[in-house]
């Protein structure tokens, strides 16, 4: 049973003038109901008194909207009732929905699914958190809270606490506690643009209208004239500098489409490919996890390339292969030294073209010397020290030709491998040109990009780029010539360029935000 309470939240008790008419609609249409406005101080007190274990999460949010989102979920868990944003207007009494034994939500208007930030996340619907109803103490809210903890590193409030997170919680909920979802027109008969929703039913009038004053759908604004002039100059200079670079079309034309058309079987053989350099401190842990893989020995091969190591990496690799002859159907050890220039910190932007170009050459050599008849290649960095025993089976079960789990340095922490990303928008000229350094597009973190840490409410996402910490690849992609460019390709290099080339050849890349590998702390 949903209690007769309407909850609303605002920073204080001074309701904005633009919202007062909407706020007044609730007591007018719900006589005898309790109407409660929760201020920021009220929500803070609720967290301290009833949810002290969430205090660090709640007070650590960088944006007020995140606290408002989590606060409304906690209010409904503790008290039940109807929650309504200040810009939500009651159109009819909610008495008819009170006999429910589980939360009630509405989808956002279907027109919102066409927005770029929805499309890139692959969402098939959006569950709105602008108007919600729930019995008190319903266990679904525990799932929401747990998911909010898991998604605490997401940068966008939509992913951390907002309707995207709520959508993920609803979709993942067990049938016994899954909320009821009604058509979006019941709580919002008009979309963000004021257009009527196509699912409007004249026989069932809507209960409320969300007016989208605080909409999450952004507007667009062009750059000022001075920026446009500077951008034009930068583009002209860049064209001059790139005049002798290989035409990307040549690399795409070189891909063998006949070989590419043949897809590896999901139950096929797998080659584990590991480049190794000065990895003695992590190899034992990595080898232990490989030993623990829940995968048939007769289907598993391994190839390691060791080079430029000043520690005992080579001896450790040799000892491992010698002692595990029965663990693999085939093993290979490649030794190769590469010319290395003395450099500073490896993550410095100035060193990326040389450093990652060299890594690409290592990967390509490992493929040439190590890949035989295997159906799949499982790339693993030598710095990976833990992963689930069933990770390979889970990746193969995706039935995708390229699969990338998340890589973290603490379980549940931020994504370590930020070469795995989704582009949230096509950058405008003035947005990308300033981030080109040494022929590579190297924007700062989160610039028009989502990482797997941002999407942990989703089990599976489509990626635009990959890293190499752990990467499963259909070996026919490599045989067809989709390898790791060691020179700029569309201003990308190595694994990012591999992903760009694969996508231009029609290959879908899948990321697994809820599957994590552990990278050693630097």
Residues 294, 393 within the same domain: yes
pLDDT at 17: 96
Residue 227 inside a domain? The answer is: no
Residues 241 and 151 in one domain: no
Residue labelled with tokens 């990967």 = 363
- 273 is written with which tokens? 């490919």
Token pair 């290959």 is found at 507
CATH code (residue 157): 3.90.550.20
Six-digit token string for 141: 């809210």
In the block, tokens 């500073």 appear at: 344
pLDDT value, residue 435: 81
The whole-number pLDDT of residue 481 equals: 98
Residue 343 placed within a domain: yes
Length in residues, the chain: 522
Q: Establish if 201 belongs to a structural domain.
A: no
Beta bridge partners of residue 270, listed in sequence order? 300, 376
Same domain as 388, residue 513: yes
What sections of 112-224 are H helices per DSSP?
A: 116-119, 140-150, 157-160, 163-172
Same domain (yes/no): 341, 438: yes
Q: What is the pLDDT of residue 314?
A: 96
Give the SS3 label for residue 172. Answer: helix
Q: Looking at residue 436, what is its pLDDT?
A: 83
Q: How many domains does the chain have?
A: 2
Q: Tell me, letter by letter, the H, E, C secondary structure of 369-409.
A: HHCCCCCEEEEECCCEEECCCCHHHHHHHCCCCEEEEEEEC
CA–CA dist 328, 297 (Å, integer): 5
Residues 54 and 125 both lie in one domain: yes
- The answer to whether the beta carbons of residues 501 and 252 sit under 8 Å apart is yes
Say if 219 falls within a structural domain: no
Tell me the CATH number at 351: 3.90.550.10
Q: What SS3 state is found at 175?
A: coil
Q: Does residue 99 form part of some domain?
A: yes
pLDDT the model gives residue 248: 85
Q: Are residues 477 and 385 in the same domain?
A: yes
Q: How far apart are CA 143 and CA 172, in angstroms?
A: 9
Torsion of CA 57, 63, 69, 71, to 10 degrees: 50
- Helices 280-291 and 313-323 sit at what angle, rounded to 10 degrees? 20
For residue 315, which phi and psi values (nearest 5 degrees)?
-65, -40
Are residues 246 and 351 both part of a single domain?
yes
- Predicted confidence at residue 232, as pLDDT, reads 66
Residue 8 structure tokens? 């609303």
458 and 342 share one domain: yes
Query: Facing residues of 384 across strands?
Result: 519
Rounded Cα distance, 259 and 261, in Å: 5
Q: List CB contacts of 50: < 8 A, sequence separation 6 or more.
A: 74, 78
- Predicted local confidence at residue 235, as pLDDT: 63
Compute mean pLDDT per 10 residues along the chain, 522 residues long, and list them: 98 96 98 98 98 98 97 99 98 97 96 95 98 99 98 98 98 97 94 88 90 66 69 66 77 97 98 97 98 97 95 97 94 88 65 90 98 99 98 98 98 97 87 83 91 98 98 99 96 97 98 98 85
Look up tokens 């747990």; give the residue. Answer: 146
CB 357 within 8 A of CB 486: yes
Measured from the Cβ of residue 256, the count of other Cβ atoms closer than 10 Å reads 12
Count of other CB atoms within 10 angstroms of residue 482: 29
Instruction: Give the pairing type, strands 470-474 and 402-408.
Output: antiparallel
| Domain limit, last residue, from 210, 242, 259 | 210
In a domain, 226, yes or no: no
| Mode of pairing for the β-strands spanning 470-474 and 376-380 | antiparallel
The helix or strand, by DSSP H or E, that contains position 273, with its residue range, turns out to be: strand 270-276
Is residue 94 situated within a structural domain? Answer: yes
* Same domain (yes/no): 172, 243: no
Best CA proximity match to 355, nearest among 368, 365, 370, 345: 345
3-state DSSP assignment of residue 349: helix
Domain identity same for 482 and 339: yes
DSSP state of 246: P
pLDDT at 207 (0 to 100): 97
Sheet architecture: strand order including 81-84: 34-38, 5-9, 81-84, 131-134, 104-106, 180-182
- 506 burial type by CB count under 10 A (0-12 exposed, 13-18 middle, 19+ buried): exposed
User: Is 243 found in the same domain as 119?
Assistant: no
Range of 185's domain?
Answer: 5-191+206-210
Q: Is residue 197 assigned to a domain?
A: no
399 and 250 belong to one structural domain = yes
Q: How far apart are CA 106 and CA 178, in angstroms?
A: 13
């Amino acid at each position: 049973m949903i209690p007769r309470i309407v909850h609303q939240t605002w920073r204080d008790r001074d309701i904005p003038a633009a919202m007062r008419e909407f706020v007044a609609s609730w007591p007018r249409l719900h006589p005898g109901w309790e109407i409660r406005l929760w201020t920021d101080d009220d929500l803070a007190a609720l967290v301290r008194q009833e949810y002290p274990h969430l205090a660090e999460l709640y007070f650590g949010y960088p944006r007020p909207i995140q606290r408002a989102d989590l606060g409304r979920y906690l209010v409904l868990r503790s008290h039940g009732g109807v929650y309504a944003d200040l810009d939500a207007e009651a159109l009819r009494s909610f008495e008819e929905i009170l006999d429910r034994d589980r939360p009630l939500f509405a989808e956002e208007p279907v027109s919102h699914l066409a927005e770029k930030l929805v499309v890139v996340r692959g969402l098939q619907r959006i569950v709105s958190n602008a108007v919600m109803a729930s019995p008190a103490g319903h266990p679904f809210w525990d799932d929401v809270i747990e998911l909010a903890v898991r998604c605490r590193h997401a940068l966008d409030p939509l992913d951390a606490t907002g309707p995207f997170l709520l959508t993920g919680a609803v979709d993942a909920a067990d049938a016994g506690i899954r909320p009821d979802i009604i058509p979006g027109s019941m709580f919002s008969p008009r979309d963000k643009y004021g257009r009527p929703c196509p699912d409007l039913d004249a026989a069932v009038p809507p209960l409320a209208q969300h007016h989208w004053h605080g909409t999450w759908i952004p507007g667009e604004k062009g750059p000022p004239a001075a920026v446009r002039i500077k951008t034009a100059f930068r583009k002209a200079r860049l064209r001059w500098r790139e005049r002798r670079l290989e035409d990307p079309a040549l690399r795409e034309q070189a891909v063998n489409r006949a070989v590419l058309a043949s897809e590896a079987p999901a139950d096929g053989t797998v080659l584990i490919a590991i480049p190794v350099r000065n990895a003695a401190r992590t190899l034992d842990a990595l080898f232990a996890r490989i030993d623990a893989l829940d995968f048939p020995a007769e289907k598993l091969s391994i190839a390691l390339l060791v080079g430029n190591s000043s520690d005992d990496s080579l001896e450790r690799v040799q000892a491992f292969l010698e002692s595990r002859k029965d663990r693999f159907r085939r093993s290979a050890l490649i030794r190769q030294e590469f010319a290395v220039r003395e450099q500073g910190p490896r993550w410095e932007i100035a060193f990326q073209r040389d450093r990652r170009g060299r890594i690409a050459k290592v990967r390509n050599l490992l493929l040439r010397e190590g890949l035989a008849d295997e159906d799949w290649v499982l790339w693993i960095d030598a710095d990976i020290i833990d992963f689930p025993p069933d990770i390979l089976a889970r990746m193969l079960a995706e039935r995708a030709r390229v699969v990338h789990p998340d890589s973290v340095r603490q379980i549940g922490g931020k994504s370590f491998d930020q070469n795995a990303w989704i582009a949230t928008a096509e950058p405008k000229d003035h947005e990308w040109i300033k981030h080109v350094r040494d022929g590579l597009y190297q924007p700062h973190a989160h610039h028009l990009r989502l990482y797997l840490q941002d999407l942990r409410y989703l089990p599976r996402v489509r990626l635009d780029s990959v890293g190499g910490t752990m990467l499963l690849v259909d070996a026919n992609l490599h045989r067809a010539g989709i390898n790791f460019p060691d020179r700029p390709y569309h201003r990308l290099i190595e694994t990012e360029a591999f992903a760009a080339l694969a996508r231009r050849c029609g290959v879908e890349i899948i990321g697994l935000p809820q599957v994590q590998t552990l990278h050693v702390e630097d």
